[in-house]
Each structure stands twice: as C-alpha cells, then as structure tokens.
Structure 1
Amino acid sequence: MSVGDATSARRLEVGGIGLNVLDDGEGPAVLLLHGFPDSLDLWRHQVPALTGSGFRVVAPDLRGFGQSDAPEEMEAYALPAVLEDVVGILDQLEVPSLRVLGHDWGAALAWGLAALHPERVERLVAISVGHPATFPGSMEQRALSWYMLFFQFPEAEEALRRDDWRFFREAFGGGGDLDRYIEDLSRPGRLTAGLNWYRANISPESFVSAISSAVPAVSCPTLGVWSSGDVALTEHQMTSSAANVNGPWRYERIDDASHWIPVDAPERLNELLIDFLTGEESR
C-alpha cells in the first residue's frame, strides 16, 4: 500500500479542488510538498522517520498529482493558485504554523509560502531547488533546464509517450520511481496536468531575459539540500540562495544521489531533517 492510500489520508475540498492529504502523527507539524512527476508517495521514507521522532506530518498530493483533482485549465497550476491550496489545507487542519519541507516544484512552493506567509512557516527545508531569484541568473542553469522549454510545446505529451515513454525514461536518467511515474501519468489528463505546472509558471522569455523573481527573501531558519547527481539543477542555484535568506542559513550537499534525494538517500536526508527540524535557531 502506498503512503497516499494510508488510513491517515483524507480528502479535503479547498476552493473547489479535491485534495488527497496525509495527516499522521502527533507533535509539532511538518508540511511535506512534492514536485513533478511525484505524489506524496515521494515521502514514504520520511513519513515514518518524522512521525517516529515526534512530529505530525501533513503531506498532500498537490493538484494534478496522485489522488488529488487535476483541473483542465493551464492557469490552474500557477503557483499562486497552488499556494492557496496549501494555505487552505493548513486552515482546515487548524495548523497555524509549522515546519515546511519541499522538493522540486514543492520546494518552489515552500519558498513562496515562507516568503509570502511568514507567520505560517517556522523553519524551511528546500531540497534540490533554491530560491526562485537564483534561477534566471545562471547560463549553466538555463542550459540544464532545456526540458522546461520542451514542455511548453503542444506536441510534448505525444513525444513523451512515444515508444513506451522512451524519451521520458532517457530524460530522467533512471532516477526516482520511473515506472510509478509512468503509471500515474498514463491516467487520462494527468500528463497534461503535470506539464501545466511548467506552462503556467515558466515562460520562454525567462530564458533570454533577466526577469526578477516575485518571491521576496525569507526570514525563517532555512536548510538547503542539493545532490551531486542532479542533472537538472546546479549547486550554485542552491548555495546562492543564502542571499535570499535573512534568517539562519545552512547548506548540505549529498553525494551519490540523483535529483530524487528522498528516494535515493533516505537515511542521510532523514538525519539532516530531524537534526534541523528539532533545532533551536531563532528567526
């Protein structure tokens, strides 16, 4: 049984969108936000480690993924709309503030939550993806992000599915849970929903011009984690995020792991998480 099917998962309605949300454990709350093309099952190694360490874990399938609804409109996946989902979940679960952990698009969302709703975020952990302001400035990062441009084309869905998802498998380099991703994305409308995260938030113009980030600096204690096997994101975009953190900043590099650190290096990540989330640094 997947984490998303656990008895501690429930369905919440937020702004007309049905969201599958895991709510497990007792103690200080920790919010886990996954990215593309994952679901809350990404956190299957972190949930028991955190609940076993005295935390309450809240982990949604973000809109378009897992067992949550997948709106058809591209605009529905713009980060401000998804951020409303997250705030709505916290309100319904009566969680005024908590620690936040995000990976991939979930990290971008976590940065936005900490910056725009600072009263809700006590501590922040960003895995793989640094502060949004670090993305436009590096030519190396733009080159690695070629797939974001590819996803903009209407033909992207057909190309990704062709020859038993061969292009998709090669592009992701064997990392993560490829068979699980393909099974999930093969459901009607789900591949388009996943690509719409890129279409709604990444413009082709951002690759050729300096576009300032709409996300301010964050003030809470922040941990950035990056892996040496990440083929999509540079180490610089994470380490340079320190300039966008007004509170205590800590950086950790994990070697011999792909972009999917929660799956590839769960023990090392769990050690870092429990150490940081139980820390006492002040804002």
Structure 2
Amino acid sequence: MTAGKGTLRDWLQASRLPSQSYIALPLLLGQLVALRAQGGDIPYGLLLCVQLFGVFDQLFIVYANDWADQETDRRNQTATPFSGGSRVLVEGCISPRALGGAALFCAAAMLAVSVGLAVVQGAPGLVPLAFAALGLLWAYSYPPVRLSYRGGGELLQMVGVAGVLPLYGYLAQGGDLGRFPWPLTVALLPTHLACAIATALPDEPSDRDSHKRTVPVRLGGEQAVWIIAALNGLSLALAPWGLASLGMTAGWALAVPAAATLAVLGLRPAPPGSLLIQARVAACITATLAVVAIPLLGLTAR
C-alpha cells in the first residue's frame, strides 16, 4: 500500500486525541489561578483561544514525534494506546511528507495564536513560551540534541507540561508573573516526570533495540516503576505546600492519586505487550491527572 494524504479516520488516529488532556488541564489550571486573583467569571472567548493553542501544541507534538520516531516505531511490537506512536506511518496510512507538513502547520498555528493573544491581552511573554514549547519538542526528538535517545527526554516532558503550560495559561489570563504560585509548580513536577517515565514502559524492547536511553531502558522496567512510585509520592508530599500557595488544603482528595500509585506498584508482573502493563500505565496517568485536577476543582468551586 502506498501512503498518501490519509482519510479522516487516519488523521484521527494520528492525532491521538485522548492525550489532549495532558495539555488542556495544565493550561486551564494556569488560567484559573490568574482568574482567582482577578475575580469575575470565566472569559469563555479567552478560554477557547488558550485551548486552541493547546490543541495545536498537542497535534504538533504527536505529528512531529511520529515523524522523528518512525524507524523506532517500525520495530515496536508492544505498542499500546499510550505509547509506540500513532502507527499511521508504520501502517502506511499517511505519508511522512503529509504528516511532517501537518506538524509544521500546527507549529505555525501555535505561534500565530500566541502572537494574537499577546497583542490582545498585552502579554508578550506568551510568544517566548510558545517558542519554548516548540524548542522542547525539537530537543526531545530531533538532532543534534535528541534527548529522548540520549537520556533526559522525560525531563523535557516534565518541564513542558508542568512548567510551560500552566504559566502560559496564567499569563494569557493577565496574571502577574511575580504572584505566580511556584510552589504548586514544584509539587506538580515530580508526578509529571513519573507519567513521562510510565508511558515509556511498554516501549522498552524497541527502545532498547534503537538505543533510545529512556529510564526503563537504562534501569529496567520494574526498577523504573519504583522510581515512578517515589516521584508520585514526592508530589503527594509536596501537594499541601503547593495547594497552600492557592489558599487551599489537600483533604481526602489526595487519596485518589495515592490509590492509583499503589496500583502502579501492585499490577505485576507487567511485561511489555501484556494487558497489565497497559493497566499500569493507565494507573500512573490517573495519578498525575488527579494531582492536577485537585487544584482545578478547588478553583472552579470558588
């Protein structure tokens, strides 16, 4: 089969839309933090524009990563809904040229939305943050840095999702940089690092064959799981401090990410290619999203 422009179904597969949650929630969190200090109702037009940036950002990430990792993905026999790429290039559904062009379009759209928001909202910091988001993906997947292969790619994911995105939403809403709740960011960083490590667990065999130095490749899957649990535990320990920076208390809501973290440890043995490893990764994603959702729900309730 000759790859071409692809059908709508192929592009939906390539877009991996469930991963939008990784982008949408941190952006919304930053925006609501700023709105809390300002008072008033949620500006839905601005909310839509910020989320539009997030849509283009997520699509750029998945398209550009698929293009960069296509050779490794062809070796991957243990792909899951969470890992291993969208498979559209491997299956010949879409041509590399078409997917690469779509990635470039999304990158340009990210910048265009950011410039527009910067002008309308008087927030020039949004433009360098957009370039930072693009730069993190470039450093993750593309030469000469290509940290996902050299080791350290998980750190780039952590910085982007837990650092750049909440700050983008905050500044877009007109938040004062000097009043940004940095303790909350510090509390979110470890669990996002844990999530980045977890999504690499199913790909360990093909990553090892491709000399991709992820944490599971370097340490082994089970050792990586203990690091994931420790990082989630650190976020849980820091959560009261982070929430206090918003004038909130932790409460029993932390039981959700705690239970999900225990599930990560309990779901074993979970070799790549098994259903248990999918459940293990899902549990880790649940833990991370729950830690983000706790302050979000607190902000929307006020």
TM-score under structure 2 normalisation?
Answer: 0.30
Choose between structure 1 and 2: higher strand proportion.
Answer: 1
Choose between structure 1 and 2: higher helix proportion.
Answer: 2
Larger radius of gyration: 2
